[in-house]
């Protein structure tokens, strides 16, 4: 059951990120994407959490939501649990599907709201898949549509017409360091160590033989852990980590 890293927003707007365990694939085909989008629609209505933008990638999900009632934990829990049951049934999978928690960043300024919005929709572009407008599994084409379950009105007020919107999304932009700092903190690193190496603590790497330990370190490096995190969480010194 996903747990949240709760940091509520005074404005009500939040940038949400969740991913598969050990970054595993959570969407295998078109039907999976549609299933998850239907669940987002259903549970946003049930919990009164307003979805302002979303992007479903192969192994993670980005959302911008408006949540004035602090229902975000329930909103994230319900589609996550329901989708996990669906996915395991269809692909005969066992164990957890989503990482042990989702990540949230409060949005307290118009500047960050727009930065996060552009970041979310440009995930396919950043991954060298296609442009934001060509990607079918995001809210890109929901902009300005009254019959959509995605409410883009706040962005319409800040950005303007469809042409201005297209130009805004396509422009160069700064990434979202606030979210990256949270996603890649020590708690995240510990969860990666547990999920990838199937150990309870990184210090267990000290018991490995030299070759196995170095392979484990390389595997964790590929997941995005920093040298400092290796030192803190495994007790292995910097020189050994760099040599590996």
Whole-angstrom CA distances from 190 to 24, 142, 205, 209, 234 are 17, 37, 13, 21, 10
The tokens describing 169, both together, are: 């999304």
The pLDDT value given to residue 178: 59
Contact 142, 44 (CB under 8 A): no
Task: Give this prediction's pTM.
Answer: 0.71
pLDDT for the residue 68: 87
Dihedral sign from CA coordinates of 1, 140, 177, 113: negative
Residue extents of the structural domains in the chain: 3-176, 184-243
Q: Which CATH superfamily is domain 3-176 in?
A: Transposase IS200-like (3.30.70.1290)
In the numeric block, which tokens belong to residue 210?
């030299």
Per residue, the 3-state secondary structure of the chain, as one string, reads CCEEECCCCCCCEEEEEEEEHHHCCCCCCHHHHHHHHHHHHHHHHHHCCEEEEEEECCCEEEEEEECCCCCHHHHHHHHHHHHHHHHHHHHCCCCCCECCEEEEEECCCHHHHHHHHHHHHCHHHHCCCCCHHHCCCECHHHCCCCCCCECCHHHHHHHCCHHHHHHHHHCCCCCCHHHHHHHCCHHHHHHHHHHHHCCCCHHHHHHCCHHHHHHHHHHHHHHCCCHHHHHHHHCCCHHHHHHC
pLDDT of residue 9: 58
- CB neighbours of residue 195 within 10 Å: 19
Greatest CA span in the chain, whole angstroms?
A: 61
- pLDDT tens track, the chain, 244 positions: 333 344 455 789 999 999 888 778 999 999 999 999 999 999 999 999 999 999 999 999 999 999 988 899 999 999 999 999 999 888 877 778 887 678 888 898 898 899 999 999 999 998 889 999 999 999 999 999 988 999 999 999 999 999 999 999 998 766 665 566 555 667 777 888 888 888 888 888 888 888 898 998 888 877 767 777 888 888 888 788 878 8
pLDDT score at 145: 94
């Amino acid at each position: 059951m996903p747990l949240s890293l709760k940091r509520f927003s005074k404005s009500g707007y939040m940038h949400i990120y969740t991913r598969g365990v050990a970054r595993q694939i959570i969407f295998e085909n078109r039907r999976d994407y549609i299933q998850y989008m239907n669940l987002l629609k259903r549970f946003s209505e049930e919990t009164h959490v307003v979805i302002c933008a979303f992007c479903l990638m192969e192994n993670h999900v980005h959302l911008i939501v408006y949540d004035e009632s602090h229902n975000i934990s329930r909103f994230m829990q319900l589609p996550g649990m329901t989708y996990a049951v669906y996915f395991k049934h269809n692909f005969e999978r066992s164990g957890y599907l989503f990482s042990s928690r989702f990540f949230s960043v409060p949005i307290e300024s118009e500047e960050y709201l727009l930065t996060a919005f552009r970041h979310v929709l440009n995930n396919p572009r950043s991954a060298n898949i296609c442009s934001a407008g060509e990607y079918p599994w995001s809210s890109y084409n929901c902009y300005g549509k009254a019959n959509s379950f995605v409410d883009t009105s706040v962005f319409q007020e800040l950005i303007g017409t469809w042409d201005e919107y297209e130009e805004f999304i396509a422009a160069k932009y700064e990434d979202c360091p606030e979210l990256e700092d949270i996603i890649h903190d020590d708690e995240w690193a510990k969860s990666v160590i547990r999920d990838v190496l199937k150990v309870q603590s990184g210090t267990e790497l000290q018991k490995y033989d030299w070759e196995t330990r170095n392979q484990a370190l390389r595997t964790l490096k590929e997941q995005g852990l920093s040298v400092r995190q290796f030192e803190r969480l495994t007790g292995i010194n910097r020189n050994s980590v760099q040599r590996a």
